[in-house]
Amino acid sequence: MLKYLLYPLTIIYYILSELNRILTRSKKLYKPVISIGNITWGGSGKTPMTIEVAEYILSLGKTPVILSRGYARKDSNVENVIVRDKYNILSNVSVSGDEPYMMACRVDCPIIVGADRVTSAELAEQFNPDVFILDDGFQHWKLKRDLDIVCINSLNPFGNGMTIPSGILREKKSALKRAKLVALTNCNLANKDKLNDIKQEIFNIKKEFPLETSCKNYDVVNMCDNDKVEDFDSFKEKNSFVVVSAIGSPDNFVNTVKDLGLKIKDKVFFSDHHKYKSKDITDILNFLNDSEKIITTAKDAVKINEVTDMDMKEKIYVLNVSISFDSGKEIFEKEIKSVLGINNEK
C-alpha cells in the first residue's frame, strides 16, 4: 500500500520536524499569546475556533489581534500586511489570503498576516493589543504561547494514525500532551459511539477529556445582497443545491449541508485554497435550472465574490457557521480569562 511505500519519507519528516522544534529558539511577545492549532493536515475547525476566541475576548472588553500566516496569498512578496484594524478591512483577499480575509469579514478586531509573526506583532503595537491569537500556531515554534488550544475533527480525528506523507498527522498523537485544551469539532455530525471512543483516546493521552463543540449556529445568506434567508423551511423545500468548496475537509461541509436538511444535487470540490476563476462558476451555473442553486462556505465566498457578477451571485448562497459548546464552555472561558489576568471569581 502507498502509505507503507511512503513510510521512509514519513520517518524523515518526523525527524526533521522534531529537530526543528528542538533547535528553534522561541521568543516571548510583549503580550500573552493564545494559539489555535491542530495536529493534522486539513480542516479541523481552527478558523471557527479562532473567531470564537476573538469574539469572546472582545466581549470581555479586551483587544485581541489575530496573527496569521496567510496561506496561498497571491502577492506573497508583501511580507506583513494589516488585513484590518479595529474598524475597517484594509486589504483584499489576494493579498490577505482567503481565511484571514474571511475572518476580517466576521470579527471586529485587527488581523495581520505574514510568515514572520514577530514582525506582525511589532506592527500590532499601534492597536494596543491585550492578547495575540496565533492562527494555526501549534507547530509555530518561534513564539512562546500562554495557551495552546488544539482542534480535532471528530469526523476524521487522526486519519490512519500515521504522520505526513503516509498519513494526515503533522505530529504524533502524543503531541496533544503539550496542549492546554483539546477541542473536538463537528461533534453534532459524528457517530456517538465513535465520538466516545475518540474522547477516551484523547483522555488516555492527556488524562483530561476534550471540550466538545458543534457547528450549530447557521446563517444562509445570498451572495448578491448578503440577505439572510428568513423562511428557511420554504427555502429548503423549494431548492436543491450544488455544494461548491475548496477547503481542507470538504466532506465536513457536505455533512453540515445535509444536517441542515438541504437537498444536494451535486458536489464540486477544488483543491484547498483554490483561486477561483469566473469559468469555474459559470460552468456550474449553466447546468442549473431556476430551483437549483450553489451553496458554498464563507471561506470560498470571499474568492468567488471577486470573479462573479450580480446575476451569478443571485444563484449563490453562503453558509456561515459558528461553533457552540456541547461541553467545556466554562473551562474554555476560564482559561482565556486566566491568560488575560481576569479574576475568574468575578
| Sheet of 147-153, strand order | 81-84, 111-113, 64-68, 131-135, 33-37, 147-153, 181-185, 211-222, 316-327, 292-297, 240-245, 263-269
- Return the pLDDT at 344: 64
pLDDT at 229 over 60: yes
User: pLDDT above 70 covers what percent of the chain?
Assistant: 95
Asked if 219 contacts 212 with a C-beta cutoff of 8 angstroms, the reply is: no
- Count other C-beta atoms under 10 Å from residue 231's C-beta: 9
The C-alpha atoms of residue 182 and residue 94 are separated, in whole angstroms, by 32
The pLDDT tens digits for 311-340 are: 999 999 999 988 999 999 999 999 999 999
C-alpha cell at 181: 485544551
User: In what helix (H) or strand (E) does residue 276 lie, and over which residues does it extend?
Assistant: none
Asked if 304 contacts 224 with a C-beta cutoff of 8 angstroms, the reply is: no
Mean pLDDT of all residues in 11-39: 87
Instruction: Supply φ then ψ for residue 270, to 5 degrees.
Output: -115, 165
The pLDDT tens digits for 134-179 are: 999 999 888 999 999 999 999 999 998 888 888 899 999 999 999 9
Q: Which residue has the cell 495552546?
A: 148
pLDDT at 208 over 80: yes
Q: How confident is the model at residue 78 (pLDDT cuts 50, 70, 90)?
A: low
C-alpha cell at 178: 503539550
Q: Is 117 helix (H, G, I), strand (E, B) or coil?
A: helix
- Return the pLDDT at 216: 74
Asked if 285 contacts 315 with a C-beta cutoff of 8 angstroms, the reply is: yes
Domains recognised in the chain with CATH numbers: 2-214+324-340 (3.40.50.300), 216-321 (3.40.50)
Q: What is the CA radius of gyration of the chain?
A: 20
Q: Which residues contact residue 95 at a Cβ distance below 8 angstroms, ignoring those fewer than 6 apart?
A: 73, 74, 75, 78, 81
The C-alpha atoms of residue 86 and residue 110 are separated, in whole angstroms, by 5
The C-alpha atoms of residue 340 and residue 335 are separated, in whole angstroms, by 9
Q: Which residue has the cell 428568513?
A: 230
pTM: 0.90
